[in-house]
């Protein structure tokens, strides 16, 4: 588990999970670049910082 804090996201004491993918570019036998992607919206929604379309909390029915 990673506990993230910082000036841009307020602490919620909620847990969230995210699947991530990384791509490496190798040059000269070394990592020259790294690209990482993840679903920011899903992660922020789990923390309560982003409301999905329709305005309800995730998992709530209209």
Conformational region of residue 29, where left means phi above 0, alpha means psi within -120 to 50, and beta covers everything else:
left
Q: Which residues lie below 8 Å from residue 20, measured CB to CB, with a gap of 6+?
A: 36, 37, 38
Q: Which residues lie below 8 Å from residue 5, measured CB to CB, with a gap of 6+?
A: 11
Classify residue 54 by its DSSP letter: T
Q: Where are the domains of the chain?
A: 20-51
Kindly report the pTM of this predicted structure: 0.52
Classify residue 51 by its DSSP letter: P
pLDDT at position 37 over 80: yes
Percent of all residues in the chain with a pLDDT value above 90, rounded to a whole number: 27
pLDDT at position 23 over 50: yes
Percent of all residues in the chain with a pLDDT value above 70, rounded to a whole number: 69
């Amino acid at each position: 588990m990673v506990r993230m804090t910082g000036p841009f996201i307020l602490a919620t004491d909620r847990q969230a999970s995210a699947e991530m993918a990384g791509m490496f570019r190798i040059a000269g036998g070394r990592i020259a670049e790294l690209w990482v992607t993840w679903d920011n919206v899903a992660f922020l929604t789990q923390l309560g910082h982003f409301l999905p379309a329709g305005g309800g909390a995730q998992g709530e029915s209209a």
